[in-house]
Amino acid sequence: MSIFVLPGDLIVPGSTGSKKLKLGPGLVEQSSAIVATRAGTLHSKQRTTFFIDSDTQRYVPASSDPVIGTITARQAESYRVDIGSASPATLDFLAFEGASKRNRPSLRVGSLVYARVSVAQRHLDPEIQCYDATTGKSAGFGELKGGMVIKVGAKTARSLLSPTHFLLPLLGAQFPLEVATGVNGRVWLSSVEKAASGSSTTSRNSVKNTIAAIRCVQAYDEEGLDAKGILALLASLSL
C-alpha cells in the first residue's frame, strides 16, 4: 500500500493494535498525530514501521549507508571525502582493513572510495569507514580504481541496491561488469575485460561496454525503462 503524500499531510495508521509505531525517515510525530515532512510515497512494513520514499537529489547521511565519495583533501590523521552531503565526511587513515600506523592507505586527492557511513549525527560531520566494523574485513569497501562514476536519483540508487532488481543481472549477462552503488546517488560501473593479453588496460570494448552500461542505468533513472526497454536500448547501442 503506497500512497503519495505531501509535506504536512496527516497520516492515520490502520489498525495496529497495541504495538508501538516505528517512524522512518520523512515522518514526525506532532502532538500525537503523525505528519509527513517530505513529499514521496508512503511505505509501511509489517504495518508498524512507516517511511516515505522520496526521490531527493541531496543526500542526508544515515549510519551504515554504503556511499561513494571523492577524496578532496588529505589531513594529518584522515582524509576529507565529498559524499554529496551538506558537509564533507572524514575517513580516518586507520578505517581500512588491516590498517596500522605504519602502512598508510595509498589514496590521493581525487581518488574514489566505496565506504560505509559509520557516524551520522545531525550536528557532526559524517564519518565513513572502508571496512565492515563487525567482521573487520573490507567487505567490498575501499578504493575504486578505473571504471566510471555517474549520478542517479536516490530512488534508483536504492532500487539498484536491492538484490531482486532486474537491471544489474540483465547488464551482467551482456558483458563482464563490476558495479558499486552508493545510497548517495552515485553509481560506479566498470567493465574491465580480461583481454586476451591479460593486461587490464581499458581495452576498446571495455570502454564501450562501460558506456553502454552507463547509458542503460541513466535511461532507467531518467525514463524508468523496463527490462524490454533496456534490452532494446542495448541492441541499438551495440553497433
Contacts with another protein, residue ranges (CB under 8 A): 70-72, 82, 87-88, 108-112, 144-149, 188, 199, 201-202, 204, 207-208, 210-211, 214-215, 237
Nearer CB in complex with another protein: 17/110: 110
CB of 219 to another protein, least distance (A): 11
Residue with cell 570494448: 205
Q: Cell numbers at residue 152, please?
A: 542517479
| Cβ closest to another protein, residue 146 vs residue 172 | 146
* Residue closer to another protein (CB basis): 56 or 111: 111
- Closest distance of CB 87 from another protein, Å: 8
The nearest distance, CB 13 to another protein, in angstroms, is 38
Q: Residue 154: which of 83, 210, 50, 87 has the closest Cα?
A: 83
Q: How far is the CB of 194 from another protein (least distance, A)?
A: 15
CA neighbor of 228 nearest in space, from 167, 174, 164, 175: 167
- Alpha helices, H only, 109-166: 154-161
Tell me if 90 sits within 8 A of 79, measured CB to CB: yes
For the bound state, the minimum distance from the C-beta of residue 50 to another protein, rounded and expressed in Å, comes to 32
Q: Which one, of 41, 114, 35, lies nearest residue 81 by Cα? A: 114
Q: Looking at beta carbons only, is 67 or 112 nearer to another protein? A: 112
Name the residue nearer to another protein (CB basis): 44 or 184.
Answer: 184
Which C-beta is closer to another protein: that of 103 or that of 201? 201
Residue 114 or residue 131: which is nearer to another protein going by CB?
114
Q: Any residues with CB less than 8 A from the CB of 136 and at least 6 apart, and which?
A: 97
Task: Name the amino acid, one letter, at 109.
Answer: V
Query: Residue 154: beta bridge partners?
Result: none
Query: Which H or E run includes 115?
Result: strand 112-119
Q: What share of the chain is helix, strand, coil (3-state, %, to 5)?
A: 20, 30, 50
CB of 235 to another protein, least distance (A): 13
Nearest Cα to 51, choosing from 31, 81, 25, 19?
25
Q: How far is the CB of 53 from another protein (least distance, A)?
A: 25
